Amino acid sequence: MSSVQINPKLIEMALKAWANGSSAAHSAAERAGAPVRFVSFFQEQVAQELRQVPAGALDGAWQPVLQSQFQNGKAEHRAVSALYFAYFHPLARLRRVTELADSIPVSTRQFQRYLNQGYAWLAVQLTQAEQTANEKRRASLRRFIPEPEYKTLFGVSDLAQKAVGLLGLGALDGGTGMLSLEGLGGIGKTAIAHEVALASLENDRLAGICWVSARQEWINALGELKALVPASRTTHDLLTRLAEQLGIRAVEMNERMDALRSVLSAAVYLVVVDNLETVEDPQFLLPVLASIRGESRILLTSRHSLAHFPYVQTIPVPELSLENSQGLLKDELQRLAAGGITDDQIREIYQLIGGLPLALKLVAAQLAVLPYQLVLDGLRSADRHTQDTLYTYIYQRSWALLSQPARQLLVSMVDADPDGETIDWLGLMCGLQGGDFEHALQQLMNLRLMEKTGAFDHPLYQIHRITASFLSTNLRSKWEAG
């Protein structure tokens, strides 16, 4: 029942239908949008308002109890008492209004006024309860959506709207079942998926939103962050985590698959599978997802195109335009209190690194510390033939800017949960104390090598996946050489 439908008349109709007790009345109440179980809610509200249900339920002496309730001076209390005796008191309920009024005594019209006030009071209680329930619902829908990596988004909303439209998430009728956001690493695919998920919170018919990231570095025991587990196992892990989010704890795989199919078919969910490129063989995963999804929608993000899967529709995610890149760079510099960059200077940087949001953020952080010309010359001298070498150059430059404690902290984060850790844990594991630790943390944050995520009162700190790749590449190259 939506809040616009709740009014005193409806409450009165529902209570009367319930009080009559016939099956026809139950059906009428249910049709009117007031299922009988609301009566329990009403009863609880009334009992709570009266502090306790008045005594005298079993000995038949209800009239003195009713009189004593009406001696209370507050109008609201009288209204609630009127409801209680008219509908819930085991001996008084179902008696005529005249009889109840006489026993107080007040006029029948006055008692009816109290009752009307009572209906209005219950309508308010129900509306408030519904609002609380809606807030809970939104919180429940949000719980698996990770915190955004970007606080201010540039060039995302149009693509997010397009994705919402293609997935049919606006009205949940029609639309494609599986959609892939595709583009270079660090280009903002996750940010778009995040926007899609947030936009879907408004959809009343969506039963839930799941978010699983395909990154599985933390299970790799060879000192590498890149996923090396077999494709089938990655699929297994992904489906396990999806099942957990859907409340399925069955351990046996066949049971789990049956339950997944059943749940995803019984209602419409939005399932986001982020970073699909780390799944070594999507040929294995995608048909499974397609076969179990029912009417639910699957949103994928991937560096590689999935256009060859006939049941997957794709949206290529381009680099940011110059205009959006300007917005992002200025926003980042403002955050670091390092304004003053001109549009021409931004254009020069854009020509060198393009519209890769992560690269722009890292460079903006360097610009807050180093002279513009030095950064620009460095970018010009770097090997920019591929995205990887561009990032390697940028990360090496950031590394060089770090103090020794900051390096120590960054290195220790290789062994931390990729989805983020608490500040206490990071402090414990990096071995830094007090001011050293705080300065190191601040420096990593300023240089955008560390991101703050999680809830406001329980923040977590993590390194971006591409940053982690850079670190692991350095680690691996050294070990392989040594």
Partner 1 sequence: MSDVQPGMSGTAGEFANLYRRGLLERLRTAEQFVRQHEEHPQQIRAHLRSLLTLAGHAGWEPEASALWTSLTDRLHPYPLLWGYADAWENHLRAALTAWDNRQPDFLAARLQSYLVETLYFSHKPQEALDLAGQALSSARLGRNLVALARVAQLVARIDYDRSEVDASNRTLADAETQIKSLCTDADSALEQIALAILWMQKAEIMRFLGDVRGALELYGQVVGVLVDFPGEDILSRPQFWLLAGEALESRGVLLWARGEYARASHDLDQASGLYQRLADRLRQASVLANLGLVYWKTCQFDRAEAFQLQSIAIREEQNAQDSLARVMGDLGMVYFLRGKLDQAVHYVEVQGELARQFGDERAARLAHANLCGMRVFQGRGDQVVAEMERLLAGSRQRSIEHELGVMLDLMPCYWFLGRTGEAVQAARRIVAIAEELKEGLPGVMVPALRGLALTQPVDEARLTLVKALELAREYEREFDRAACLLSLAGLSAGDEAQELWCEGLARMKEMGSLPWVEGRTPADPPFLPLVV
**Footprint of partner 1 on residues 359-418 (CB under 8 A)?**
370, 374, 378, 381, 396-397, 399-403, 407-408, 411-412, 414-418
Rounded distance, CA 86 to CA 16, Å?
A: 10
**In the complex, least distance from residue 439 CB atom to partner 1, rounded to whole angstroms:** 11
Positive or negative CA dihedral for 298, 302, 305, 308? negative
User: Does the protein bind partner 1 through residue 345 (CB under 8 A)?
Assistant: no
User: Does the protein bind partner 1 through residue 131 (CB under 8 A)?
Assistant: no
**In the complex, least distance from residue 141 CB atom to partner 1, rounded to whole angstroms:** 13
**DSSP bridge pairs for 302:** 182
Query: DSSP secondary-structure letter at 4?
Result: G
Residue closer to partner 1 (CB basis): 98 or 477: 477
Q: Where are the alpha helices (DSSP H) in 267-317?
A: 282-292
**In the complex, least distance from residue 373 CB atom to partner 1, rounded to whole angstroms:** 13
Residue closer to partner 1 (CB basis): 271 or 312: 271
**In the complex, least distance from residue 309 CB atom to partner 1, rounded to whole angstroms:** 26
What mask, x for binding partner 1 by CB under 8 A, covers residues 45 to 64?
Answer: ------------xx------
Residue closer to partner 1 (CB basis): 75 or 250: 250
Rounded distance, CA 109 to CA 26, Å?
A: 28
* 121 phi and psi angles, rounded to 5 deg: -65, -45
Interface positions, 445-474, toward partner 1 (CB under 8 A): 471, 473-474
Q: Which of 367, 370, 318 is nearest to 346 (CA)?
A: 367
**In the complex, least distance from residue 233 CB atom to partner 1, rounded to whole angstroms:** 7
* CA angle (233, 237, 238) in 5-degree steps: 115
Interface positions, 181-240, toward partner 1 (CB under 8 A): 217-223, 229, 233, 236-237, 240
**In the complex, least distance from residue 251 CB atom to partner 1, rounded to whole angstroms:** 5
**In the complex, least distance from residue 185 CB atom to partner 1, rounded to whole angstroms:** 20
373 burial via Cβ count (<10 Å: 0-12, 13-18, 19+)? exposed
Residue closer to partner 1 (CB basis): 204 or 424: 424
Interface positions, 260-279, toward partner 1 (CB under 8 A): 261-263, 266-267
Q: Which amino acid is at 468?
A: A
* Count of Cβ atoms closer than 10 Å to residue 263 Cβ: 20
Interface positions, 81-100, toward partner 1 (CB under 8 A): 90-91
Q: DSSP string of 319-347? A: PPPHHHHHHHHHHHHHHTT-----HHHHH
- Which span (21-29, 64-72, 112-120, 331-339) binds partner 1, by CB under 8 A? 21-29
Query: At how many degrees (to 10) do helices 387-401 and 465-481 cross?
Result: 90
**In the complex, least distance from residue 57 CB atom to partner 1, rounded to whole angstroms:** 6
Residue closer to partner 1 (CB basis): 114 or 470: 470
Q: DSSP string of 341-367? A: --HHHHHHHHHHH-S-HHHHHHHHHHH
